Each structure stands twice: as structure tokens, then as C-alpha cells.
């Protein structure tokens, strides 16, 4: 091809592949491909694509702040500050809700709600999204009564009441009597409808699936199954289908995986339109609410959570979310202060008001990667949804525990990938900083209310927890003794030959809260023993290339173990020499792809910590 109008040479795919292969030093471009948790292959390059356009409302998404302080007065002060700072509305979080994460309003009686919403006007453009939890339908009705007492007309208030009979599956066994469990939620929806509230009144909320480690297709199938179940319940209660579908909102988690999150939100709208058509209805834009994902949050190096939250908001917003709530970056460490709340809010405001991201209807349209992934997620999720329907619907599937089992299998694989560093977590399992400052808790801040998941529950998790637990052990040792656990790195051979494995071990050890001591090449076993004793470390690790291990590894291992080292590891993995090295004294082999969590736990056991 000739030069384009700007004077630059035109490139085709073959040119890109040739350049990429040169950068990969001869490795095929296919080595850049990856797979999602659903097993969907992500190619390194795509041609332009085409596909159906998701139906969505126009304009930018709404920025939602959390009202989640357990004390109603403090919650009110924080919420008013967020609204004054540019938030478009509030996610009203009650204790025990899917999005509470140990906090939330602990009462929902009229006096508590009056204190929490003092000074707010419900009919002046603000939107409210209720995250009910164990407060249940009574909280929704009490909130409606609060609005009525304020003098606002229900039809003028933008309130998503969040009635969700399926949320029980997040924290405990599914109800034995589903009909009895469903009744108060449908009754509350009908009562709110009679009062003139437009809603949405009920919500199909799949955040608990994501928090439990579920794959995107499982989240989407759960959301569809819940929405269809709610549609049937409202229809049976006498609400016309055309109206009933408008009373349903969707709630999804968004994480820092831009491709999957954006495509997931697009896929939800596409599949819901298909269900509407199946009901004989002309599709209309659904109400889709987004919250940044709990499972990606870290208590260590939490400032990285600011970027994770921004990416989640970016991806969910461009994927079609009508509103986005970003978890404040310190939430995993404790109740967030004003700074953390401001960053959660302002990150979105920058995306919307400076970058103007909310004014493009469907930015992913025509992009081959997003079109392909959106379709693949639709196919996967639709298949799971059909399996649910064949088994009697979502409620019946949850009652049997089949869906929870599928999510548990996906979560187990996700945990394995994190433990083996195939899914590194910046600031925790990658680039950890042992000297980082701990989050300073707000004086007088309430403690997190710990929730225990019942049998067969979709129990929430954070992927960073195994590594954070190791760091906690390191902190305890430091507080008791004044120093952290140490491993002496025994460098075999000149610096160029051991450099790579020394660097690997330094970062690998820091992920578990263990300091490394490195003092250059150890020319002889006697030198290694002398430096080990001088370091104060009781653990050691051989670091060199395979040739050094083959010729000198056994001698160094035997000398170090004879000197009284409590444990000796080797950086790398040589199946040919493993038996001999173990006989000489090597206790374990540390290598890329190995279970880092299990190996680090073994080091602590050898220390007796």
C-alpha cells in the first residue's frame, strides 16, 4: 500500500504480524492470545467487526456515591458532602446487603431513615438505589413512606427500590419455601406501584456471583434467570408484561478487565432484548446499574484500587451502565474516610466531564475484539440460562445447589491462577512493598460486621486475601521481634548468570512478607555458610542458572543444611537433578507457575511462625 494522506505508510495485518514476531524474537503471534474465565479465546488482533447494537438510554452514566456508614447521622454528613461534590445520587446500603461488605445502615426504621436523609430533596433530580440486604421489603416500604412524608410526589422521584428475593443466595441456604419467601417482595412491589412510584421496583442482581468468583457467563445467566423469575412473578400478580419489564433493574459488577467488563454489559442488553422479543414485546432499553467489583479490592497497597475502580467505571460506563458506584479504595481495610470517598467520586467525574466519555452511544460498535467477545459471552450465558430454565428456573436451580457448585469450580480455578501468579495482583502478589504505610483508620470508625456464609452460599471473597494473610503474619513477627522473616539468597556463579533468579526471588518473597538478603556471588560453600550466619536469616535459597545447579548445587545445599538452616529452597525447577538436590538438602523448588501461596506458607512453617 502507498502512503496515506498524512504521509505515513499504510499497514495491513501482515505488516503488523511481521513486526510483532520480530519483537517476540521469532515466537508466533499466537503466543499473545489469552483466555477468559469462560474459556473464550482473546486473539491478539481482530479485523473490524459488526453485530447488533445494544439498546441503551442516551447521555452519560450517573455517578453514584455510597451511603453506608452504620451511624445514620454520620451517613447523612458523608452523603451530603458527596452530593455537594458532584454525585448524581446515592446507593443506600443496608447492613447485610450484597454490597455492604461489613458496613451499611444497621436499622431501617423511620427514625433512622429520617436522620440519614435529613436535608435531602427526593424530587429534585437525585437518584437513589436501595441495596436492601437483611432489611428486606420493610426497608423499601419505609423509604417510600419517608418520601411521602417529605411531600414529594412518588412519580417525580428516581428511586430504584432494589427488591431482590434472590439475594438470599449470596449469604445462606436458599429458602425451603420459595413461594413464601417471594411473597413479601412481590407484595411490596405492588404496594409501591399503587403509591405511584415508577421504580424500578425489583432488581436482578448478579454481584454476588462475581464476588464469589463466578465467570462472566455465570453472572449474566444469573441476572437473566432472576429477571425472568421476577417478570413471571409480576405477571402472575396482575402487572402487564409491558409494564412489568420496565419495573426491573439489573445490577452487575464491573472489574478492571476492560475487555470482559465492557463486553459483559453489552451482552446483558442484547440478551434481555431477546427475552423481550420472546415475550412478544418491542425491546426497550433496560435499566442497568454497575458497581466496581469487591473481589478485586486489596487491603495492601490500596491506592492501586483507585486505578482499578477507574477502569471498572470506564468499562461499565462505556458498556452501557446507566449508573456506576465505585467502591472507595480503602474499603477492604476499613470504613472509608472522606478522601477515599472523594477519589471514588471524582475519578468518574473526570471520565465524564473532562474526557466526555458519556456522550458516545456505543464506543465498542464495530471493534472486532468487543463485537466478538460480546457475541461469545451471549452464547455462553444463553446456554447456561437455557439449562436453568430446563431445570425449572433460577430458584429451582439454586435450591438444588447446582449453580453454586458451578461457581465454586470457577472460583477454585481463579484462586489457583492467583496463587500461581498467573493472575498477578499489583501491590500484593506483584511489586509488593514491605515498607508501605498502613491505612490510617478514621478515629472512632465502626468495625466491620463480619458475615458468615451459610451452607451452599455464594460466599464473597477477595482474591488478594491469601497473600494479605501472609503479610499479616510478617507484621506480627515484626511487631514481636523488631525484624521481618528473612531468606538469604545464595548466588551461584557470576552476576549475569544469577541476576534473573535473584530478581525473581526478591519479588516472590516480598509478596509473602519476607525480606531477602543478597550479598553477591558466593564463590564457595564456606563463603555461603559464613554469609548466611552473618545475615541473621534462618532460611536460604539457591539462585543460579541450571548449569551451576548441576555442577555445584549439591555441595552448596549440603553445606548450608549442615550449618543449621531451617529450610533451603532453590529458585527454578530441574526435573533431572531434583532427586539429587533433595538428597543434598533442598526442601523445595520455587519457580514460575508453582503455587506461591503454598510455598510461602511452607516457609513460615519452617520458621515456626
Rounded CA separation 151/158 (Å): 15
Rounded CA separation 104/94 (Å): 4
Lowest-confidence region among 74-88, 351-365, 482-496: 351-365
**Claim to verify: residue 391 and residue 480 sit in the same structural domain:** no
20 versus 496: which is more confidently predicted? 496
* 43 alpha-carbon distance from chain centroid: 23
**Claim to verify: residue 384 and residue 482 sit in the same structural domain:** no
**Claim to verify: residue 143 and residue 289 sit in the same structural domain:** yes
Share of the chain above pLDDT 70, in %: 97
On whether residue 305 sits in a domain, the answer given is yes
**Claim to verify: residue 395 and residue 470 sit in the same structural domain:** no
Taking 90 as the threshold, does the pLDDT of residue 307 lie above it? Answer: yes
Which of 141, 176, 175 lies closest to 161 in space, CA to CA? Answer: 141
**Claim to verify: residue 391 and residue 479 sit in the same structural domain:** no
- SS3 category, 245: helix
CB 83, CB 65: distance < 8 Å = yes
Which residues span the domain enclosing 345?
62-360+368-409
Taking 90 as the threshold, does the pLDDT of residue 28 lie above it? Answer: no
At residue 291, what are phi and psi to the nearest 5 degrees?
Answer: -135, 140
608 versus 478: which is more confidently predicted? 478
**Claim to verify: residue 157 and residue 273 sit in the same structural domain:** yes
- Which of 343, 376, 409 finishes a domain? 409
Which of 510, 485, 501 lies closest to 428 in space, CA to CA? Answer: 510
What was the pLDDT predicted at 144?
A: 98
What number is the average pLDDT over the span 484-495? 97
Taking 70 as the threshold, does the pLDDT of residue 478 lie above it? Answer: yes
**Claim to verify: residue 79 and residue 175 sit in the same structural domain:** yes
What was the pLDDT predicted at 453?
A: 65
Return the CATH number at 583: 3.40.50.280
For residue 1, what pLDDT band results from cuts at 50, 70 and 90?
A: very low
CB 517, CB 487: distance < 8 Å = yes
Reported as a single tens digit per residue, the pLDDT across 148-183 is 999 999 999 999 999 999 987 667 778 889 999 999
Which own/partner pairs from 69-72 qualify as long-range (CB within 8 Å, at least 24 positions apart)?
69/103, 69/105, 69/335, 69/446, 70/95, 70/103, 70/104, 70/105, 70/106, 70/446, 70/449, 71/446, 72/105, 72/107, 72/112, 72/113, 72/115, 72/116
Residues 6 or more apart in contact with residue 71 via CB below 8 angstroms? 446
**Claim to verify: residue 403 and residue 470 sit in the same structural domain:** no
For residue 455, what pLDDT band results from cuts at 50, 70 and 90?
A: low
Half-sphere exposure of 145 (CA within 13 A, CB side): 14
CB 250, CB 166: distance < 8 Å = no
On whether residue 70 sits in a domain, the answer given is yes
CB 448, CB 103: distance < 8 Å = yes
Q: Read off the C-alpha cell for 537.
A: 536469616
For residue 5, what pLDDT band results from cuts at 50, 70 and 90?
A: low
What was the pLDDT predicted at 451?
A: 74
**Claim to verify: residue 254 and residue 398 sit in the same structural domain:** yes
Q: What is the DSSP pairing of strand 41-42 with strand 34-35? A: antiparallel
For residue 2, what pLDDT band results from cuts at 50, 70 and 90?
A: very low
Taking 70 as the threshold, does the pLDDT of residue 73 lie above it? Answer: yes
What was the pLDDT predicted at 456?
A: 67
Rounded CA separation 96/102 (Å): 7
Rounded CA separation 263/261 (Å): 5
**Claim to verify: residue 483 and residue 378 sit in the same structural domain:** no
Rounded CA separation 68/116 (Å): 10
What number is the average pLDDT over the span 268-282? 97
Tell me which H or E stretch contains 549: helix 546-562
Reported as a single tens digit per residue, the pLDDT across 106-133 is 999 999 999 999 999 999 999 999 999 8
Taking 80 as the threshold, does the pLDDT of residue 197 lie above it? Answer: yes
Q: Kindly report the CA angle at 305 between 40 and 601, in degrees rounded to 5?
A: 80
**Claim to verify: residue 386 and residue 499 sit in the same structural domain:** no
Taking 90 as the threshold, does the pLDDT of residue 608 lie above it? Answer: no
Rounded CA separation 275/173 (Å): 29
DSSP code per residue over 262-281: HHHHHHHHHHHHHHHHHTT-
* Total number of domains in the chain: 2
Q: Could you tell me which residues are beta bridge partners of residue 540?
A: 488, 568
CB 89, CB 128: distance < 8 Å = yes
Return the CATH number at 380: 3.20.20.240
Amino acid at each position: 500500500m502507498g502512503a496515506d494522506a498524512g504521509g505515513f505508510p499504510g499497514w495491513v495485518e501482515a505488516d503488523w504480524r511481521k513486526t510483532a514476531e520480530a519483537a517476540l524474537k521469532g515466537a508466533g503471534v499466537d503466543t499473545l492470545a489469552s483466555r477468559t474465565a469462560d474459556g473464550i479465546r482473546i486473539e491478539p488482533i481482530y479485523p473490524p467487526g459488526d453485530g447488533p447494537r445494544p439498546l441503551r438510554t442516551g447521555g452519560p452514566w450517573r455517578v453514584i456515591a455510597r451511603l453506608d456508614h452504620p451511624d445514620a447521622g454520620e451517613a447523612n454528613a458523608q452523603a451530603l458532602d458527596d452530593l455537594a461534590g458532584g454525585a448524581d445520587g446515592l446507593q443506600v446500603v443496608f447492613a447485610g446487603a450484597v454490597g455492604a461488605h461489613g458496613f451499611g445502615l444497621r436499622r431501617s426504621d423511620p427514625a433512622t431513615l429520617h436522620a440519614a436523609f435529613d436535608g435531602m430533596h427526593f424530587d429534585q433530580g437525585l437518584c437513589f438505589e436501595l441495596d436492601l440486604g437483611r432489611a428486606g421489603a420493610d426497608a423499601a416500604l419505609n423509604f417510600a413512606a419517608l418520601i411521602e412524608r417529605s411531600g414529594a410526589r412518588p412519580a417525580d422521584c428516581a428511586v430504584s427500590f432494589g427488591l431482590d428475593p434472590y439475594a438470599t443466595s449470596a449469604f445462606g441456604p436458599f429458602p425451603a419455601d420459595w413461594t413464601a419467601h417471594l411473597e413479601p417482595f412481590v407484595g411490596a412491589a405492588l404496594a409501591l406501584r399503587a403509591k405511584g412510584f415508577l421504580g424500578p421496583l425489583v432488581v436482578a442482581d448478579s454481584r454476588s456471583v462475581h464476588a464469589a468468583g463466578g465467570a462472566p457467563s455465570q453472572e449474566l445467566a444469573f441476572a437473566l434467570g432472576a429477571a425472568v423469575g421476577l417478570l413471571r412473578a409480576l405477571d402472575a400478580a396482575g402487572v402487564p408484561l409491558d409494564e412489568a419489564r420496565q419495573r426491573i433493574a439489573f445490577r452487575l459488577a464491573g472489574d478492571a478487565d476492560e475487555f470482559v467488563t465492557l463486553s459483559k454489559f453489552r451482552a446483558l442488553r442484547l440478551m434481555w432484548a431477546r427475552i423481550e422479543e420472546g415475550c412478544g414485546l418491542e425491546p426497550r432499553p433496560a435499566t442497568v446499574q454497575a458497581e466496581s467489583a469487591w473481589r478485586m479490592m486489596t487491603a495492601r497497597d490500596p491506592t492501586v484500587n483507585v486505578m482499578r475502580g477507574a477502569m471498572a467505571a470506564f468499562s461499565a460506563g462505556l458498556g452501557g451502565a446507566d449508573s456506576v458506584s465505585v467502591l472507595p479504595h480503602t474499603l477492604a481495610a476499613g470504613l472509608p474516610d472522606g478522601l477515599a470517598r472523594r477519589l471514588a467520586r471524582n475519578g468518574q467525574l473526570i471520565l465524564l466531564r473532562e474526557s466526555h466519555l458519556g456522550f458516545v452511544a456505543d464506543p465498542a460498535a464495530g471493534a472486532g475484539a468487543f463485537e466478538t467477545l460480546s457475541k461469545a459471552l451471549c452464547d455462553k450465558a444463553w446456554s447456561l440460562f437455557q439449562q436453568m430454565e430446563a431445570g425449572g428456573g433460577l430458584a429451582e436451580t439454586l435450591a438444588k445447589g447446582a449453580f453454586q457448585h458451578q461457581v465454586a469450580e470457577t472460583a477454585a480455578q481463579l484462586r489457583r491462577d492467583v496463587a500461581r501468579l498467573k493472575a498477578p495482583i499489583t501491590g500484593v502478589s506483584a511489586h509488593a512493598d514491605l515498607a508501605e504505610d498502613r491505612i490510617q483508620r478514621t478515629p472512632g470508625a465502626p468495625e466491620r460486621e463480619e458475615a458468615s456464609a451459610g451452607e451452599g452460599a455464594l460466599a464473597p471473597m477477595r482474591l488478594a486475601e491469601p497473600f494479605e494473610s501472609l503479610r499479616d503474619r510478617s507484621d506480627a513477627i515484626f511487631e514481636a521481634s523488631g525484624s521481618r522473616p528473612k531468606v538469604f539468597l545464595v548466588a551461584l556463579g557470576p552476576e549475569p548468570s544469577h541476576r534473573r533468579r535473584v530478581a525473581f526471588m526478591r519479588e516472590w518473597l516480598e509478596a509473602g512478607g519476607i525480606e531477602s538478603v543478597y550479598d553477591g556471588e558466593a564463590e564457595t560453600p564456606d563463603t555461603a555458610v559464613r554469609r548466611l550466619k552473618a545475615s541473621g536469616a534462618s532460611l536460604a535459597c539457591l539462585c543460579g542458572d541450571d548449569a551451576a545447579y548441576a555442577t555445584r548445587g549439591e555441595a552448596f545445599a549440603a553445606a548450608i543444611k549442615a550449618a543449621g538452616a531451617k529450610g533451603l529452597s532453590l529458585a527454578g525447577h530441574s526435573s533431572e537433578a531434583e532427586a539429587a538436590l533433595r538428597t543434598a538438602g533442598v526442601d523445595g523448588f520455587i519457580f514460575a507457575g508453582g503455587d506461591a501461596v503454598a510455598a510461602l506458607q511452607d516457609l513460615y512453617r519452617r520458621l515456626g511462625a
